[in-house]
């Protein structure tokens, strides 16, 4: 009988432990008055140089199967992205192009916590290497609700920012 109760207690403790820690304690990653601003997109920045017409002598030096009239540099500029909320920078990062030859798209993914409220959002991006100016920018008035996931993207076909 003693053994029976011992087993009963053990099984009860086992069940309680399994049941409890499968859901408790809850994990809170955001405060009640907080929201998330997510930035996610890929963008191919401008190439570091213009294409150049090759001279006939330069073309003739190339292997026959690789002869072409232009020489275009593959590398792309780093991309600078800045996001301000009511004038305060909440994200600013220089993103390098992907690929072994730095000729691919630059990827950005970030999630930033922000207090819920009314904001004037400014999004600026530079992909041409010219310092001190943005090639693309957007200013938008928005109300960010508690628990909202505000997503900022970039449409490469129209070169405009998307806020949803």
Partner 1 sequence: MLFYLQKAARAGLGLLHRPLARAFGPIDNPLNHLGALIIFFCWIVLISGIWLLIFFRTSVAGAFESLEYLTYEQWYLGGIMRSLHRYASDAAIAALFVHIVKEFAFDTYRLKRWFSWVTGVPLVWLVFALGVTGYWLVWDELAQYVAITSAELLDRLPIFTDSMAGNFLTDSAMSDRFFTLMAFLHLVGLPIFLVFGIWLHVFRLSRPVINPPRRLMAGTLLCMLVLSFVFPAVSQNKANLAKATQSVDLDWFYLHVYPLVQISSPGFVWLLLVGISCLICFAPWLPPGRLAEAAVVDLANCNGCERCVDDCPFGAIQMQARTDGRKYDAEAVVDPGLCARCGICVGACPTATPFRSRGELIPGIDLPELTAAELRERIGTVAGSLSGNKRVLSFSCSGSSTAESLRKAGEAVVEVKCMGQLPPPFLDYVLSRDLADAVLLTGCSDGRCRYRFGTHWTEDRVTRKRDPRLRKRIDESRICRAWQDFPEYQGSVLRQLAALRSVLPEQSTDDEEASG
* Residues in Cβ contact with 141 at an 8 Å cutoff, skipping those fewer than 6 apart: 118, 119, 120, 121
Name which of 36 and 138 has its Cβ closer to partner 1: 36
Say if CB 125 and CB 80 are below 8 A apart. Answer: yes
Q: Does 73 bind partner 1 (CB under 8 A)?
A: no
Instruction: Tell me which of 54, 90, 107, 134 binds partner 1, using CB under 8 A.
Output: 107
The DSSP 8-state label assigned to residue 147 in this structure reads: T
Q: Using alpha carbons only, how large is the chain's radius of gyration in Å?
A: 27
Task: Kindly state whether residue 11 participates in binding partner 1, applying the rule CB under 8 A.
Answer: yes
Stretch that binds partner 1, among 67-75, 77-85, 101-109, 117-125 (CB under 8 A): 101-109
Selected range binding partner 1 among 86-94, 103-111, 123-131, 135-143, rule: CB under 8 A: 103-111
6 touches partner 1 by CB under 8 A: yes
Can you tell me the distance from the alpha carbon of 120 to that of 147, in angstroms, rounded to the nearest whole number? 18
What's the chain's length in residues? 164
CB of 40 to partner 1, least distance (A): 4
Is residue 5 within 8 Å of 116, Cβ to Cβ? no
Residue 108 binds to partner 1 (criterion: CB under 8 A): yes
Half-sphere exposure of 158 (CA within 13 A, CB side): 6
The Cβ of residue 44 has, within 10 Å, a number of other Cβ atoms equal to 15
| 46 vs 105 by CB, closer to partner 1 | 105
**Interface residues with partner 1 (CB under 8 A)?**
2-3, 6-7, 9-12, 14-15, 17-19, 21-32, 34-36, 38, 40-42, 98, 104-105, 107-109, 111, 147-149, 151, 164
């Amino acid at each position: 009988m003693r053994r029976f109760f011992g087993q009963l207690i053990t099984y009860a403790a086992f069940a309680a432990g399994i049941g409890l820690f499968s859901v408790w304690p809850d994990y809170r990653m955001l405060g009640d008055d907080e929201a998330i601003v997510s930035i996610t997109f890929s963008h191919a920045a401008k190439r570091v140089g213009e294409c150049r017409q090759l001279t006939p002598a330069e073309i003739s030096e190339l292997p026959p199967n690789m002869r072409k009239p232009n020489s275009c540099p593959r590398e792309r500029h780093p991309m600078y992205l800045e996001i301000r909320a009511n004038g305060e920078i909440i994200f600013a990062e220089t993103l390098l192009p992907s690929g072994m030859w730095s000729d691919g798209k630059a990827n950005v993914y970030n999630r930033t916590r922000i207090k819920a409220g009314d904001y004037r959002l400014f999004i600026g991006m530079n992909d041409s290497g010219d310092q001190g100016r943005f090639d693309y920018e957007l200013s938008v008035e928005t109300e960010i609700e508690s628990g909202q996931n505000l997503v900022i993207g970039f449409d490469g076909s129209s070169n405009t920012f998307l806020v949803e």
